[in-house]
Amino acid sequence: MRLTSLSLIAAASVALAGCVSLFPKSEPAQLYRFGGTAAAQPGLGAMSGQVGVTVAPVDFVAAASGDRIMTTTGPEVAYIAAARWAAPARTLFTESMEQAFERDARVVSLQGRRGAGGVQLLLDVDVNSFEARYENGREAAPTAVIALDAKLIRIGDRSVVAHRVIEVRQPASDNRMGAIVQALDAANTQALGQLVEWTDANAR
């Protein structure tokens, strides 16, 4: 009887294990992107490729460089639950920067390898802010804030040819995920547009 009872208990345990999970599956995070290819502006690109510029690896603010979408409220940092970038933000930014130069640059052409083809200039970009900033409390719509620190450096002697700080602030239309992503995407597009224009002007 003792063995029979133990066998019945074991059988019941196996049956329950097939029906009940101690660790239920959570809802998958919604994935988002920014920096999708936009249509070229009329007249741009006609002079592309006259000046070759190589690009240093982008130095991205660590707290926002991964796939989590960063928000700030004063000194506090938080990440939006159940939402992720489709790839690390640093990767998406780098890809969108390359696309912006390919699409809109009139004077410069980005080169993938330092010194390739007699390239003499290095573009060094630091992303110091990439966040949705709640300036009026968590219930109000945030503002997308992107700040870049860009330098054009002469490769031969490492001298700085030009330096520019770019900051773009784009208010979200609503305190919803879709609106926040749209604001970050728009701010990224504006910041990269200024970066391309500045690089064109200083690489002549």
Is residue 5, in this structure, part of any structural domain at all?
no
Has residue 6 been placed in a domain?
A: no
Domain of residue 122 covers 29-202
Token duo for residue 126: 């630091």
Helices marked H in 57-112: 89-104
Query: Is residue 196 domain-resident?
Result: yes
Q: Specify if 11 maps to a domain.
A: no
Whether residue 102 lies inside any domain: the answer is yes
pLDDT in tens, 137-181: 999 999 999 999 999 999 989 999 999 999 999 999 999 999 999
16 within a domain of the structure (yes/no): no
Q: CA 70 to CA 65: how far, in whole Å?
A: 9
Q: Assess if residue 8 is contained within a domain.
A: no
CATH number at residue 42: 3.40.50.10610
Domain tally for the chain? 1
- pLDDT one-digit tens code per residue, 97-112: 999 999 999 999 988 7
Q: What is the dihedral of CA 99, 102, 107, 112, to 10 degrees?
A: 90
Is 1 within a domain?
Answer: no
